Amino acid sequence: MKINQEQVSESNKSGLENHKDSFDFLANKLTKQGKDVDAIVSNLADFQVAIPSWALGAGGTRFGRFSFYGEPSSLEQKIEDIGVLHSLTQTAGAVSLHIPWDIPSDYAAIKEQADALNIKFDAVNSNTFQDQKNASETYKYGSLSNTSKAVREQAIQHNLDVIKIGDKLGSKALTVWLADGSCFPGQNNFQTAFQNTQDSLIDIYKGLPDDWKMLVEYKPYEPNFYSTVIQDWGASLMLANGCGDKAYTLVDLGHHLPNSNIEQIVSILQLKGKLGGFHFNDSKYGDDDLTVGSIKPYALFLIFNELVYGMQNNPQNPDLAWMIDASHNVKDPLEDLIQSLEAIQEAYAKAMLIDQNLLKEAQLDNDVVKCQEILQGAYRTDVRPLLEKARLNTGGVINPISAYRNLGVREALIKERGKNTVATGL
């Protein structure tokens, strides 16, 4: 399934007049407020988010998995699906591969396919939370933190292999997320587990090419329910600092205890030049991996406020790796991803509407009411015409969900792949 330019133009015919009306109205209003509308639209068009190779099929929970018809059953089909997302949204110009779930069998062919669809290879993800076929050691009691040297060595080697795979595809970052931890008090010695993890990460770091980054992800609990070795941003930052300049903290929005102030974490990491990347999703209770912006869109906006501030004021922090990390239990995975991409772009656009100079003035005056008015004035603006404009300028569609449905993408995928395919992933 491939969407061509003719289908895009056809999809846009009916909505073009409405789009023009609403865009002109908004652009006029924003211009009067002194905003550079063209710059905002062009920033939106440049903002690309990587789609995880593990989230193109239906997601499961520990209670089961309900498959979604027409799922991709090979890496080629996954890239094809991202191609569909990218054709419609012009925002999904990258893929984040999970190894070993998605090892290419033919590197040249997969690169050629991705190039043709304008898809880049973003961070590669290692997996030491599951035992692999024919592996000599088990990760049941941890990987990089394990008390057994043989297990640690196997996990280190896996990460080095993942770097090699990513290198062949043009990736420039390795994301390490560990399930390591303990389920019961007394099971682990915290200090030993942490030190082992640091030493193992240093060994992996030594194998990192010069122009690569290592992204260290944290998570407070699950699958271990008493302790996690890298439980929060502080632990991640310590480990990254222990490795060196090319190691950074990765923030996954779902990997926090309830009510954590994620925007503050993001802000301070940027100040220290140590924010490496992002996993977008949303949650109500824990690591729910729901559609971005579906539960707490205002929190997402506040995070983007800090990100925009950081992008403008923190040259010490490198460009970030943007990725979605979500699961789709009940929605069409591709529709879910379209909604996530839209929510990310919306939060970004709204954050760009914040007048940072005015906010600074209000902060210096301790005008608390005005500070809130400035933030919420931006948040309450319906920025969707700006997103539409960015998509139109780059060859996408005005309304990706309607176009996806009107073009019968899922029906075509089912016809092509059948009802019984199962995608590797969560």
| Total binding residues toward Mn ion, as defined by CB under 5 A | 3
Q: Does 388 bind Mn ion (CB under 5 A)?
A: no
Q: For residues 425 and 59, give the distance between their C-alpha atoms in angstroms, rounded to a whole number.
A: 8
Site for Mn ion in 154-193 (CB under 5 A): none
In the complex with Mn ion, the residue whose CB is nearer, 325 or 346, is: 325
**With CB under 5 A as the contact rule, which of the stretches 8-16, 130-138, 272-280, 340-348 interacts with Mn ion?**
272-280
The string of DSSP letters for 300-323 reads HHHHHHHHHHHHHH-TTSPPPEEE
CA distance 362 to 374: 9
Among 265, 175, 252, 186, residue whose Cα is nearest residue 220: 252
Quote the least distance from Cβ 109 to Mn ion, whole Å.
Answer: 28
The yes or no reply on residue 279 touching Mn ion (CB under 5 A) is yes
Nearer to Mn ion, 203 or 252 (CB): 252
Asked if the bond preceding 385 is cis, omega within 30° of 0, the reply is: no
Stretch that binds Mn ion, among 53-61, 244-252, 264-272, 284-292 (CB under 5 A): 244-252
Nearer Cβ to Mn ion (279/417): 279
Among the residue ranges 123-131, 248-256, 301-309, 351-359, the one whose residues contact Mn ion (CB under 5 A): 248-256
Determine whether 46 is exposed, middle or buried from the number of CB atoms within 10 Å of its CB (0-12, 13-18, 19+). exposed
Question: Which one, 198 or 281, has the nearer CB to Mn ion?
Answer: 281
Counting contacts by CB under 5 A, is residue 219 touching Mn ion? Answer: no
The pair of structure tokens assigned to 344 is 């990310």
Q: Are strands 64-65 and 60-61 parallel, antiparallel or unpaired?
A: antiparallel
H helices of 52-141, in order, are: 75-89, 107-116
Beta carbon nearer to Mn ion, 71 or 252? 252
Q: Which of residues 300-329 bind Mn ion (CB under 5 A)?
A: 325
Separation of first and last alpha carbons in the chain: 23
Applying CB under 5 A, the span of 110-118, 136-144, 181-189, 273-281 interacting with Mn ion comes to 273-281
Residue 426: exposed, middle, or buried by beta-carbon count in 10 A (0-12, 13-18, 19+)?
Answer: buried
Among 252, 289, 346, 388, binds Mn ion (CB under 5 A): 252
Query: Residue 52 CB, nearest distance to Mn ion (Å)?
Result: 8
CA dist 291 and 228 (Å) reads 25
Dist. CA 314–CA 147, nearest whole Å: 39
The stretch near Mn ion (CB under 5 A) out of 9-17, 82-90, 278-286, 372-380 is 278-286
Min separation Cβ 13 and Mn ion, Å: 39
Which residue's CB is nearer to Mn ion, number 152 or number 279? Answer: 279
Where do contacts with Mn ion occur on this chain (CB under 5 A)? 252, 279, 325
